[in-house]
């Protein structure tokens, strides 16, 4: 580890306050006073998962002397539920003064984004599930002005993009043209649908200076169709509502840690370069997290250095592979959702027209309006990786979960 002594001192001080003040962590050993020993201590602290955060919420996560009701009345914090399947859904104490600065700072780790954001004419739009854009709700029919907060326009107002009507698509395309965002934050599945709608209608959308992809795993088909519609670089922004932004992709394709706001431990899982992500939040008054397992598997970059020149003390990632619960063990090795996506696209090649897939049990559902043979070929590719019989089925659409997110693997 190449973290500075100052970083370890900060981690030591903040975790000491967590152990002293937060009921959920009260039975953890107190961190050592010597910053050089904090790393070793932290590795022994048992992780917490979503289940532990849900148990006793919010009381078990409140620091002594914190008055949640008063903070909510003053609008310093708000309670909100994360998206996800029922088993994954969490309530979060959302702290406005923490969220925004840590997200902005993460974005600025990318030099191109930093330059765009510093321009006086910078304006941003968000395309995701209406429930999870910045802790506000945009369900229903609202005007563009009603869907704008601090100059950020939230395009979407209905939960299931599979059933966006022509009218809804056309409204979003029109708003995109009128607003001409310079930066866009998007769920890749949603943006791919808008990209296809624009291409189909021959609408040329003004390209932003950058697009950040977040909220769910980006497949090659999503990336391909987004790139066809927009002449803008795509960057992964990796985080979670309950944990903040943990990593930001730079112009050289590496994800750098947002280390002023969180400390990340990587725990290896079987398979080369794969790890789980345990996060300890920094600088957060409400709902601090101590070794929280975010539930994803990532691929760790081999080198700690990066051509972009940004020095990061923490680990760099190559990509986010998908949810751990969507991974499959094959002969002791972890197969991630993106590894299945790689296999599908390796089989279908550069001319692939597949738009979406989902492995549901032993059936690979494939959405491909152009090809009647890709489902069987993609299934054979997945079968070879998983070493079990997989049936391919061409379908018109794959429905998202109730949360509005798509799942790549359903056991």
What are the residues binding Zn ion (CB under 5 A)? 250, 252, 254, 306, 308
Minimum distance of Zn ion from residue 282's CB (angstroms): 21
Report the alpha-carbon distance of residue 380 to residue 364 in Å, rounded. Answer: 10
Minimum distance of Zn ion from residue 105's CB (angstroms): 15
Report the alpha-carbon distance of residue 54 to residue 75 in Å, rounded. Answer: 22
Minimum distance of Zn ion from residue 251's CB (angstroms): 7
Nearer to Zn ion (CB atom), residue 68 or residue 111: 111
Nearer to Zn ion (CB atom), residue 47 or residue 253: 253
Q: Is the peptide bond before 58 cis (omega within 30 degrees of 0)?
A: yes
- Token pair, residue 192, equals 């791919």
- Token pair, residue 55, equals 């148990």
Nearer to Zn ion (CB atom), residue 262 or residue 374: 262
Beta carbons within 8 Å of 364's beta carbon, 6+ residues apart = 357, 358, 375, 378, 379, 382, 390, 391, 392, 393
Minimum distance of Zn ion from residue 18's CB (angstroms): 30
Which residue's structure tokens are 């929280």? 292
Minimum distance of Zn ion from residue 113's CB (angstroms): 12
- Token pair, residue 296, equals 């994803």
Q: How many other CB atoms sit within 10 Å of the CB of residue 54?
A: 12
Minimum distance of Zn ion from residue 5's CB (angstroms): 24
Nearer to Zn ion (CB atom), residue 101 or residue 253: 253
Consecutive H or E run containing 52: helix 50-54
Minimum distance of Zn ion from residue 104's CB (angstroms): 18
Nearer to Zn ion (CB atom), residue 186 or residue 308: 308
Q: How many other CB atoms sit within 10 Å of the CB of residue 334?
A: 17
| Separation in Å, CA 188 to CA 69, 105, 211, 323 | 36, 22, 10, 15
Nearer to Zn ion (CB atom), residue 254 or residue 323: 254
Nearer to Zn ion (CB atom), residue 225 or residue 249: 249
Report the alpha-carbon distance of residue 42 to residue 392 in Å, rounded. Answer: 45
């Amino acid at each position: 580890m190449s973290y500075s002594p100052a970083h370890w001192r900060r981690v030591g001080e903040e975790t000491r306050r967590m152990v002293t003040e937060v009921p959920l962590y009260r039975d953890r050993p107190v961190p050592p006073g010597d910053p050089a020993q904090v790393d070793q201590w932290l590795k022994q602290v048992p992780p917490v998962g979503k289940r532990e955060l849900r148990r006793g919420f919010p009381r078990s996560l409140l620091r002594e002397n914190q008055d949640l009701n008063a903070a909510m009345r003053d609008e310093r914090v708000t309670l909100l539920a994360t998206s996800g399947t029922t088993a994954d859904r969490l309530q979060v104490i959302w702290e406005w003064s923490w969220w925004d600065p840590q997200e902005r700072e993460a974005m600025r780790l990318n030099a191109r984004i930093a330059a765009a954001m510093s321009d006086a004419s910078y304006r941003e739009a968000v395309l995701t599930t209406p429930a999870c854009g910045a802790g506000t709700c945009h369900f229903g029919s609202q005007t563009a002005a009603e869907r704008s907060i601090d100059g950020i326009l939230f395009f979407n107002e209905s939960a299931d993009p599979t059933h966006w009507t022509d009218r809804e698509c056309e409204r979003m395309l029109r708003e995109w043209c009128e607003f001409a965002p310079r930066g866009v934050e998007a769920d890749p599945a949603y943006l791919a649908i808008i990209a296809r709608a624009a291409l189909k209608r021959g609408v040329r959308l003004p390209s932003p200076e950058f697009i950040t992809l977040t909220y769910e795993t980006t497949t090659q088909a999503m990336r391909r169709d987004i790139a066809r519609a927009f002449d803008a670089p795509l960057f992964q922004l990796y985080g979670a509502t309950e944990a903040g932004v943990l990593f930001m992709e730079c112009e050289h394709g590496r994800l750098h840690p947002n280390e002023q706001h969180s400390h990340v431990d990587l725990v290896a899982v079987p398979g080369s370069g794969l790890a789980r992500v345990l996060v300890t939040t920094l600088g957060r008054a409400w709902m601090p997290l101590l070794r929280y397992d975010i539930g994803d598997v990532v691929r760790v970059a081999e080198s700690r250095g990066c051509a972009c020149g940004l020095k990061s003390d923490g680990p760099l990632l190559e990509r986010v592979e998908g949810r751990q619960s969507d991974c499959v063990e094959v002969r002791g090795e972890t197969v991630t959702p993106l590894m299945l996506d790689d296999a599908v696209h390796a089989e279908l090649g550069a001319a692939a027209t597949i738009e979406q897939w989902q492995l549901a049990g032993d059936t690979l559902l494939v959405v491909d309006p152009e090809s009647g043979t890709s489902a069987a070929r993609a299934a054979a590719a997945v079968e070879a990786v998983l070493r079990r019989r997989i049936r391919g089925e061409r379908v018109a659409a794959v429905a998202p979960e109730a949360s509005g997110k798509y799942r790549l693997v359903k056991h």
